[in-house]
Chain A
Amino acid sequence: MIIYKIPLSSHKFQYISGKFQIWNISKIPQTKFPENFRKSSRPQFTNCPTMIVMVGLPARGKTYISKKLTRYLNWIGVPTQVFNLGQYRREVLQTYKNYEFFRPDNEEAMKIRRAYASNALKDIASYFTKEQGQVAVLDATNTTRERRGVIINFAKEKGYKVFFIESVCDDPEIIEANTMQVKLSSPDYENYDKEEALVDFLKRIDCYKMSYVPLDEEKDRHLSFIKIFNVGSRYLVNRVQDHIQSRIVYYLMNIHVTPRSIYLSRHGESELNLLGRIGGDTGLSSQGQKYAKALAEFIRGQSIKDLKVWTSHMKRTIQTAEALGVPYEQWKALNEIDAGVCEEMTYEEIQATHPEEFALRDQDKYRYRYPKGESYEDLVHRLEPVIMELERQENVLVICHQAVMRCLLAYFLDKSEDDLPYLKCPLHTVLKLTPLAYGCKVESFYLNIQAVNTHRDRPTVKSLLCESE
């Protein structure tokens, strides 16, 4: 029997649900998915590569925005990468002496800076053409019209779209907080003590201030940009060109920097969990009910201000939330992944009744779609409004399911599509995520209530491959 490996998400395969049928027979010995499957079938976010160019004085949150935006775009399936000029500088210079490097009259430094800036642009071009990237974020001050002109010309030559994100902030408290959180611990200031570092950094900002030309409503009215004032109290948006820019603007207008924590947990152990069956809509087992009570105590112990509680529409999450005794919101989008024809089966039964499906799932767990069901990729799409609302909110407890929690976790911890379906989300454990500096601090709390283990590791031997006739 010949078994053909066919790219799972090519559109000619997608509508073959349930049966292993081949639409256009061709032996495709590919182990990687062809790049054009995405272009031919999925809704296009953008048809040509986009350069996002950050603008702003140091300590205005450019790197924070760059990293967060990149994480979001990658999660929704738009290949994005950050190009941070500070990194380039550190590679060229090896050691940082002091702010003198940034003085506008330092000719030699200027030459070096222009050189590595143009290297960054070359790398961006290579990222778009060789690595199939779609969005590149150029994270640098780009404070002069001249420098922005160079970037615009470069993009025009190559046929890339440009979207500027400028962060304007004159609140000294915010700038100081930024500086303390991220600048003083940067590799540049390893050998400085805190006070000296602060002084040097403020002088560095001054070097840029004199030549800073912000984006202007009138003079730059032909450019596409968003100006963010004082961490989001006001925005000026000009000439949004396409879908991806519109999504970026929407995202930027929803994020905030107010300190808060997000708690992720699964429902308590359910009756189907006990039977080793997937999916379904059963209630909690007795252990599960114990967990619900333990969760309530834990939450009370944390003394969280204005906590919002979200569940799915399935019994097991609702019953878990009921035990908390506080109002909660139900989101259909938080429902567990739909396993289609495999609902309520055990993994052994799936292997027995649908062996090819079972094998295909292990090939690419992220993109594999259960017949008449969903894939992790579909889940991510479904969860996007949840993520957007999580960004808007402050303290939230989300009671959801294994696959759903993996997707949410992958967003917060910037996990790739490869890692996402194998993230460990055991029952009866609460994950507390606290945004910190450029990332997310994770604390795991196991509430000491026994439960079955529902995790399946990535299989070590990738089964199914061409056997000979």
Chain B
Amino acid sequence: MTNCPTLIVTVGLPARGKTYISKKLTRYLNWIDVPTKEFNVGQYRRECVKIYKSFEFFRPDNEEGLKIRKQCALAALNDVRQFLTDEGGQVAVFDATNTTRERRETILRFAEQNGFKVFFVESVCEDPDVIAENIVQVKLGCPDYTHCNTEDAVADFMKRIKCYENSYQPLDEELDRDLSFIKIIDVGRRYLVNRVQDHIQSRIVYYLMNIHITPRSIYLCRHGESDLNIKGRIGGDSGLSARGKEFAKALGQFIQSQNIRDLKVWTSQMKRTIQTAEALGVPYEQWKALNEIDAGVCEELMYEEIQQKYPLEFALRDQDKYRYRYPKGESYEDLVQRLEPVIMELERQENVLVICHQAVMRCLLAYFLDKTAEELPYLKCALHTVLKLTPMAYGCKVESVCLNVDAVNTHRDRPSVRFTNTHPLSMSVSLVLVKQASPIINLRTLCSSFTTQFGKPGCNVMFIALHVVDNKKINILYPYSTIKINLFKSTS
């Protein structure tokens, strides 16, 4: 998506939402598979100056304070460099006030030296109510003020803001016209966007322009128990079972009792979610993007049947459930891509109830709760349970409401037994026979799974995929150029 790493630099007075934006943006970028990390200079300061005394530390004439703060900023930049060059990171978010042109110059020079692109995100806000709310929500609970009472903390923090105000040089349309930046004014009422350089910056701008901080809740739940659920079969497009219909009614009652203002209801285009929504008696919108993961050749099979018919596929899926793609179907990774417009629209909306499916709900939940690709496919999303997500401070509060209607359990835990190295091989050749029955094995997944399992530093792995046609001909499958193929010789 981007060929050289990007450094996002926040700019703004304290309590303008810089950390909120940094964390949210980092969460979003990681979810869409762009390795991102935030570097909060405040954290570095707290590690350096163990105990926070008062706002005096931030006075512009406090020489010692200035020295320490500069050191912390440089230490953070150093870690940024390590993350972007050595650790495979693609985006780093440098979260600090960066209110002077001089400090921003330092950062620009640093980025130029290292070949990083820079994108500034400035938050400008003069609304005293918003600032006061910020302070109450996030500043008072922060480690700096654990020993203070509320009033003292607020007074001290306001003096802290004053220390920055005098030397604050906001990004300027004219003077900074060669820089790439977005200025967010009054929590999103207005934006000034200058010189967007590439795709990732364009996506970041689009995301920042769609988020808001109006209090609201998002309700996630699965469809009611379906006929195929009862039979233990995956996928398909069946209707609700009797208990599923009960759940739909219970859901209707639950929603009414919550007294939600202007609730939007979204479903997928599969019968079971539509029937669940119908019972609510309110208008709902159908999204094809919310359809369950397509299990391809394994649709409507039971897990035992899959294990019998496609043992290799079954094993591979357990190796890397996130990236594994069902033959002629989808992977969780594909799902996340498919769901990105849904997430974008959820960010724009206020109160929404999303009635979807197990894999889909896991992806959405992973976005809101910042779960990694490893954890995502094993998140617990039980039938007949509603999750209420309320954005709070820097994260998300989750309330789980089980509506007390029985249902089967469709959850499969991460298997404890996986492929293990039986003996250390210095070099060996792996022949992978790809049979006609499963013509569309995702070679990349196959190879990466084997490499993670058997590969060791210095060890090379070579894959020759042989396509057996009618048990007679053997074609060598065309190599996909995206797989790194190394050599792995055998002793036997």
Contact bitstring A376-418, B, C-beta under 8 A = 1, else 0? 0010010000000100100000000000000000000000000
Min distance, Cβ A245 to any Cβ of chain B, angstroms? 10
If A15-B270, A237-B191, A378-B288 touch, whether A319 touches B478 (CB-CB below 8 Å) is yes
Residues 306-354 of B contacting A (Cβ, < 8 Å):
328, 334, 337, 345, 348
B194 within 8 A of A: yes
Min distance, Cβ A241 to any Cβ of chain B, angstroms? 10
B contact residues around A441 at 8 Å (CB) = none
A contact residues around B205 at 8 Å (CB) = 253
- Cβ-closest chain B residue relative to A251: B206
- Among A240, A332, A389, which residue has its beta carbon within 8 angstroms of that of B199? A389
How many A residues touch B, CB cutoff 8 Å? 41
A contact residues around B210 at 8 Å (CB) = 246
How many B residues touch A, CB cutoff 8 Å? 40
A14 within 8 A of B: yes
- Cβ-closest chain A residue relative to B196: A253
B254 within 8 A of A: no
Min distance, Cβ B329 to any Cβ of chain A, angstroms? 10
Measured between alpha carbons, how far is A130 from B209 in the docked complex, in Å? 34
Min distance, Cβ B188 to any Cβ of chain A, angstroms? 8
Is the pair B345, A239 in contact by a Cβ cutoff of 8 Å?
Answer: no
B372 within 8 A of A: no
Is the pair B209, A240 in contact by a Cβ cutoff of 8 Å?
Answer: yes
- Cβ-closest chain A residue relative to B440: A281
Is the pair B478, A322 in contact by a Cβ cutoff of 8 Å?
Answer: yes
- Cβ-closest chain A residue relative to B274: A15
A contact residues around B209 at 8 Å (CB) = 237, 240, 246, 249-250
Measured between alpha carbons, how far is A280 from B299 in the docked complex, in Å? 17
A217 within 8 A of B: yes
B contact residues around A372 at 8 Å (CB) = 237, 299
Is the pair A15, B271 in contact by a Cβ cutoff of 8 Å?
Answer: yes
- Among A41, A221, A343, A378, which residue has its beta carbon within 8 angstroms of that of B286? A41
Is the pair A236, B199 in contact by a Cβ cutoff of 8 Å?
Answer: no
Contact bitstring A295-326, B, C-beta under 8 A = 1, else 0? 00000000000000000000100110010000
Residues 206-258 of B contacting A (Cβ, < 8 Å):
206, 209-210, 237
B contact residues around A319 at 8 Å (CB) = 478
- Among B173, B196, B274, which residue has its beta carbon within 8 angstroms of that of A11? B274
Is the pair A392, B190 in contact by a Cβ cutoff of 8 Å?
Answer: no
A contact residues around B439 at 8 Å (CB) = 281
Is the pair A234, B177 in contact by a Cβ cutoff of 8 Å?
Answer: yes
Residues 67-110 of B contacting A (Cβ, < 8 Å):
none
Min distance, Cβ A65 to any Cβ of chain B, angstroms? 16
A contact residues around B190 at 8 Å (CB) = 217, 221, 236-239
Is the pair B202, A392 in contact by a Cβ cutoff of 8 Å?
Answer: yes
A211 within 8 A of B: no
B contact residues around A240 at 8 Å (CB) = 209
Is the pair A234, B193 in contact by a Cβ cutoff of 8 Å?
Answer: yes
Is the pair A11, B286 in contact by a Cβ cutoff of 8 Å?
Answer: yes
- Among B199, B285, B328, B481, which residue has its beta carbon within 8 angstroms of that of A322? B481
- Among B192, B195, B198, B286, which residue has its beta carbon within 8 angstroms of that of A236? B192
A contact residues around B299 at 8 Å (CB) = 372
Measured between alpha carbons, how far is A15 from B277 in the docked complex, in Å? 14
Is the pair B478, A237 in contact by a Cβ cutoff of 8 Å?
Answer: no
A43 within 8 A of B: yes
Measured between alpha carbons, how far is A322 from B481 in the docked complex, in Å? 8
B287 within 8 A of A: yes
B50 within 8 A of A: no
If A15-B271, A233-B194, A234-B173 touch, whether A283 touches B478 (CB-CB below 8 Å) is yes
Known: A40-B283, A221-B189. 17 other contacts (CB 8 A): A14-B286, A42-B285, A43-B286, A221-B190, A233-B177, A234-B173, A235-B191, A236-B190, A236-B193, A237-B193, A238-B190, A246-B348, A250-B202, A250-B206, A253-B206, A254-B202, A392-B198
7 A-B pairs closest in CB distance: A15-B271, A235-B193, A237-B191, A238-B190, A234-B194, A250-B206, A41-B286
